[in-house]
Amino acid sequence: MLRFTSFLFCLSAFAQNPVLSISGPSGNIKAGSTVQFTIALSGTNTGKPAAVQADLTVPGTSITCATAQASIDATKTVSCKAGANSVRFVIAGLNANGLSDGAVATITVNIPPTMQAGTFSSTLSGVLGASPTANLQPLTTGVPFTFGITNVCDLNNSGTTDAADFTLGITQVLNGSGVDINGDGQVNILDLQRISNAATTGTCSTQ
């Protein structure tokens, strides 16, 4: 009996907590566009949280949240509040249903067109889980989601603004549609000159 109890203790010690993770699109994201993050749970066979709270760092302050399938299946809703380059989200419902593996929320962020090119890491912090009996359900935080942000003058998302972007800019001006770099509601030579300046100076000005 003692040996069996020790065996159960070892199994419990090696049991892993459910993981709350973040994912997003592959490739670079252009400043001035939107990026959608997916928040997901995995490993809930070791414990199904009835509610989840976390903070997420994001490259912007204009944010919308939506309930994903695993939350819908558990009759939960997602609420969020934006801060300074962060968003706090809460997944909960008027029930004690446990959340299963899968996407629990999506968070869409509008990246400001003035954001400079570079690498951004979105990380989860302050992760809390509540069990169906309102006790703490430990959750493990997944790895950060890192992606590149290209400036709005980089029309082809190559990571640099160069002659190729200038050529694309000419085509957009001739067609009268494309990336409105200065935000005046038109695509014209004012935008094209900003691409030219960015190609020669390395700085994309949207003002």
Reported pTM:
0.79
Domain boundaries, the chain: 17-150, 163-201
State residue 10's pLDDT score: 44
Say how far apart CA 187 and CA 177 lie, in whole Å.
6
CA atoms lying within 13 Å on the CB side of residue 92: 14
Give 3-state DSSP helix, strand, coil % of the chain, rounded to 5: 25, 35, 45
Which residue has 């990026």 as its token pair? 35
Identify the CATH assignment for 17-150 out of 2.60.40.680, 3.40.1160.10, 3.40.1280.10, 3.20.10.10. Answer: 2.60.40.680
What are 90's strand-pairing partners? Answer: 53, 79
Q: Are 39 and 112 in contact (CB under 8 A)?
A: no
Enumerate residue ranges in the chain where pLDDT < 50.
1-2, 4-14
Which tens digits make up the pLDDT trace of 114-171?
Answer: 787 889 999 999 999 999 999 999 999 999 999 988 888 899 888 889 999 999 999 9
Q: What is the pLDDT of residue 8?
A: 42
